[in-house]
A and B are shown apart, each in its own frame.
Chain A
Amino acid sequence: MTMAEGDLAVTEIAFLSRASIAPRPPPAKMSGAIGWLRANLLSTPFNIGLTILIVLLLAWAVPEVVKFLLIDAVWGGNDRNACLEYVQHREIGACWPFVWERLPYFIYGSYPISERWRVDVFFVMLATGIVWLLWLNAPRRDLGAIYFFAVLPISSFILLSGWSWIGLRPVDTVLWGGVLVTIVVASVGIVVSLPLGIILALGRRSHMPAVRLLSVIFIEFVRGVPLITVLFMAGVMLPLFVPEQLSPDKLVRALVGIAIFASAYMAEVVRAGLQAVPRGQYEGAMAVGLRYWQRMRLVILPQALRVTIPNIVNTYIGLFKDTTLVFIVGIFDLLRTIEVARIDPKWATPVTSTTGYAVAAIFYLIFCYGMSRYARAMEARLAKADRR
């Protein structure tokens, strides 16, 4: 194309508009409630359809749940007759008197009634420890850690299983049950898995081949099999591996299984944290002349654990849910007590099962959701600290 041709093309297409363009209608309102609706619910025909579909779904499901749990629910009564449709001649929802009557069983299991104050004291001690550790501005959190990982386990063991020397009647673990067992299993898992997990994670990153190999075998083996087989192993094989007179009771076996399982998972979480610590930190700690355990304790672990707190809490949530599996090896945790209570002929109605499961669901939801909120708040806090 030559220069002249190009100039010609420009003069040909260039023009000036002689009439002014008609004003456009104002744009759709995009602020305020209507604007919000338009942007978030009704932006395209597809979205409108979707919104209608979900509204219909919610309009069906939510009232159904509310009706079952509250409106049609039975609030008083002494046995199954209160919750039977053909006795009451009305639609029956949740059977709350059943829960009300069985609540002590759900909380303490068959723990002797005269000794139940010990369980209450244990709950209070545990709650104190948890608040002390989780509340970031609490005074002397170092003492809190010692309390939680050393004082609490020993004193609650003495408190719950009894010690005739100081006048506490021994209570066999067979009698323990309900929320008590769920909390005990979860706490043992939580308290044991962190230190063991740290040791295993350090072992896996060790320079000594034998240490590394043993850690890897342990971690990968436990992570490769389902928890239920670990519990079976602890349940039926552990008694074989120790001398007959030392044979541990059922609850202890389940606790060993849970602790082994949780440690392997914790090890991987801690390892991820260790990998996130820059190499310079290791070298710097070495350069100032710290020994191995000093390096780990003073420099590496505080940083590694700090970044991985959200993951640790998430592992704890998984552990808390997994405690239900002790049910299968015959331990009376909360879920098992509900299973036992719901088939009790005194309260056998079509709604008893659902009511029982609703109670369990609310319990686990509160604990797990609480922990996950904490993990998320922690994550946000850490992100803020990094931005500085």
Chain B
Amino acid sequence: MSGEVSGSSRPAQVVFYNDPKFRSIAYQVVLCAIVALLVYGAARNAIDNLARAHIASGFGFWNDTAGFDISQTLIEYTARGSTYGRAFWVGLLNTLLVAGLGIIVATILGFVIGISRLSSNWLLAKVAGGYVEIVRNLPLLLQLLFWYNAVLKALPDTRESIAIGGAFLNNRGLYLPEPVAKSGFDAVEMALLVGAAAAIVFYIWARKKQERTGQQSPLLWVTLALIIGFPLAVFALAGFPLSLDFPKTGRFNITGGIEVLPEFAALLFGLSIYTAAFIAEVVRAGILAVSRGQTEAAYSLGLRPGPTLRLIVVPQAMRVIIPPLTSQYLNLTKNSSLAVAIGYPDLVQVFTGTVLNQTGQAVEVVAITMLVYLAISLTTSLLMNLYNRHMALAER
């Protein structure tokens, strides 16, 4: 590469423009210059265009009064009293809520379907395969519109609400009884914390014991008793300090209880069902990646099918499953931005929709929205890389 001819002491003469080092630097300088020129030109045009349209720039709007309502708020928010900044946080929390719940539902559904596809039951495997093929090949937006317009909006109206136990379902949402804590409920919360801590201590102790003596402890039952049984016992002892606030039907609307918006439900259904199909494929690939010899070796050591799955197959499959699983989680979070199509007040709908329309500050608003998603993505990939390194170390 350096132009040296072996056997000769004199370096070969190379014209400077044929020298790879010179060329590489020249290319990079030219490329950087073009990019800088493009950015400069774009910025110049943006400044001109903004000045012509009399649009303010900067982030001053952040503290202005928002003046619009949001249908679902997890933190306190009023149209008159809250700022655009507050609206941003409301939207972000709504995004995180639907993404978090969606991830949980999609994971459960995806694992069930992925394992079903490998079932020895022919019918089950075929049905699971059909689910994956159909759901993966339909656009998510179409599925969301279907759930929202054709299913949830087609439910009966308020006066003919469907009553299920103490809950009501109509085309304006699902109304669930709301648990209200009475005095003495703090003790139950404390019990839950103590139980969880005790479960962790027991887990560490049981592990040490197994490493020392080889004896196993009934980990599952003890953990369940500590985390669920103990708080329940305290709950009963304290005289059940919890009451349910049931929703009541009025003439025009339903009051009380927890209201689940149809937009939220449609988005949650759509995202979970769609992502579950992809997770199912990831899970299937992961399980198939564990060679059959591993299972056979475990059987020949005398392990029963349950422990074989738990101790041999799943830990190895997880190593293959987790990286693509994380990218599916990221996809779900990014796809939650389709909320704007059905009017669920997520970050994009509130901020890139309403706030952008009211302020007209496109550059700032779109930049902030993108940075939020970018931050979520980059943080996740960072954690993923750390996890991968950890797994690589474990592979001796």
Contacts and interface: CB of A to CB of B under 8 A. Distances in A.
Contacts of A58: 127
Contact of B24 (A54, A207, A228): A207
Nearest to B46: A240
Nearest to B153: A353
A43 interface: yes
B50 A321 contact: no
A240 B50 contact: yes
A350 B52 CA distance: 48
Given A57-B127, A211-B27, A243-B48, 14 more contacts: A41-B123, A209-B28, A211-B31, A225-B334, A229-B337, A236-B366, A237-B46, A240-B50, A242-B42, A342-B149, A357-B150, A360-B142, A365-B134, A372-B136
Given A221-B374, A237-B362, A357-B150, A55 B341 contact: no
A174 to B, nearest CB: 21
Contact of B338 (A40, A210, A223, A228): A228
Interface of A: 39-41, 43, 47, 50-51, 54-55, 57-58, 207-211, 214, 220-221, 223-229, 232-233, 236-237, 239-244, 317, 321-322, 324-325, 327-328, 335, 339, 342, 350, 353-354, 357, 360-361, 364-365, 368-369, 372
16 contacts: A50-B121, A209-B28, A233-B370, A243-B48, A244-B52, A321-B140, A325-B141, A327-B341, A328-B338, A335-B139, A335-B141, A353-B154, A357-B145, A361-B138, A361-B146, A364-B139
Given A41-B122, A55-B123, A372 B137 contact: yes
Contact of B377 (A209, A223, A228, A365): A223
Given A225-B334, A225-B370, A232-B352, A210 B145 contact: no
Nearest to A246: B45
A223 B136 CA distance: 20
B386 interface: no
A229 B369 contact: yes
Interface of B: 24, 27-28, 31-32, 35, 41-42, 45-46, 48-50, 52, 119-124, 127, 133-134, 136-142, 145-146, 149-150, 154, 334-335, 337-338, 340-341, 348, 352, 356, 362-363, 366, 369-370, 373-374, 377-378
B370 A357 contact: no
Contact of B45 (A211, A228, A240, A368): A240
Contacts, number: 154
Contacts of A227: 334
A256 to B, nearest CB: 13
Contacts of B356: 232, 236
Give 3 closest A-B pairs by Cβ, nearest first.
Answer: A224-B377, A368-B137, A40-B122
A51 B121 CA distance: 7
B65 to A, nearest CB: 23
A54 to B, nearest CB: 5
B94 to A, nearest CB: 15
A286 to B, nearest CB: 9
